[in-house]
Amino acid sequence: MVKSVKELRKICYEDPDIYRPWYNKYMMKISVYVSWLLLHTPITPNQVSIISFFLVILSSLFLFSGNLGHIFIAMLILQFANILDCVDGEIARYKKKTSLTGAHLEAIFDQLLAYFIYFPLAFGIFLQTGSKAILIVGFLCAAFAKSIIIPTMYQAVIAHGLKNHSYQKQKTSKEAKSSSVNLQGSSMGKKLNDVYDKFKDFWATPNVILILTIITVIELVNRYSPFMADYTLFYWYLVIFAVAAVFKQVLSFIVHYRGKATEQYYKALFGK
């Protein structure tokens, strides 16, 4: 018998130390009810993840048109896809069926958002405005926001490996209790990463879905009560995002290369 929504929420979110984007903290108030309903069905967490993939792809088809009404529909679809992204984890935690495959699927969802939001949106704006520059901006947003498949696989493996390795190391080595591995590559990298951790709550997915939804609403209002040129907010948001994404990738490469981050990861995993 499935427990109540209140008990389900307690089971799924009993660990307050797990990082969750601020927007997801609000979406979880809705997703837990969806999870409760789906727990009465044979659907699995991985199947929920796959459904969310198709929703992201579907939203991109609406974005490609560039029509503001279609963009708004795309944002609604993405909102629901994000809810399902919370649901798969909730069902997995409730059924105690968390796995590397599930972690990989969730990571892929996050990566898909970068590819299936930014360039389709930029292409739609190009169709509506004829601005070729926005195509370059959209490409940069999609290309430098994130990478996909192999990196996400390694991310899932390394995340579990680091967690398990750290736990075993703490149990078996007194030295481990007084030492730590800096996975940001250097002391400067650690400081930059701390700054980025605070910044990404208002920039990274899934929070970007909310930002783009708000921009869409403002653009729709502007269509009927003009106070600026159409697609102005979309254009400048994508420009700012592209510049920030490229800068972050270049800075990340420099910091990690100079700090020998590869060796740091190796040491964290294998203790050598």
Where residue 104 sits, what CATH number does that domain have? 1.20.120.1760
- Asked whether the beta carbons of 134 and 82 are under 8 A apart, the reply is no
pLDDT of residue 149: 45
Check if the beta carbon of residue 172 is closer than 8 Å to that of residue 48: no
3-class state of residue 19 by DSSP: coil
For position 72, what pLDDT does the model report? 97
Q: Note the pLDDT of residue 151.
A: 62
- Check residue 177 and give its pLDDT: 44
Between CA 260 and CA 198 the distance in angstroms is 24
Are the beta carbons of 74 and 62 closer than 8 angstroms?
yes
Instruction: For residue range 185-201, list pLDDT tens digits in order.
Output: 556 656 666 666 666 66
DSSP secondary structure code for residue 148 in this structure: -
Q: Domain limits at 15?
A: 5-270
Which stretches of the chain score pLDDT less than 70? 15-21, 147-157, 159-204, 256, 261-262, 264-266, 268-272
Q: Supply the pLDDT for residue 96.
A: 81
pLDDT at 148: 45
Mean of per-residue pLDDT scores for the chain: 79
CA 88 to chain CA centroid, nearest Å: 14
Residues 84 and 28 sit within 8 Å (Cβ to Cβ): no
Mapping DSSP onto H, E and C, the string for 181-243 reads CCCCCCHHHHHHHHHHHHHHCCCCCCHHHHHHHHHHHHHHHHHHCCCCCCCHHHHHHHHHHHH
Q: What percent of the chain has pLDDT over 90?
A: 34
Q: What is the tally of structural domains in the chain? A: 1
For the entire predicted model, the pTM comes to: 0.79
Residue 130 gets which letter from DSSP? -
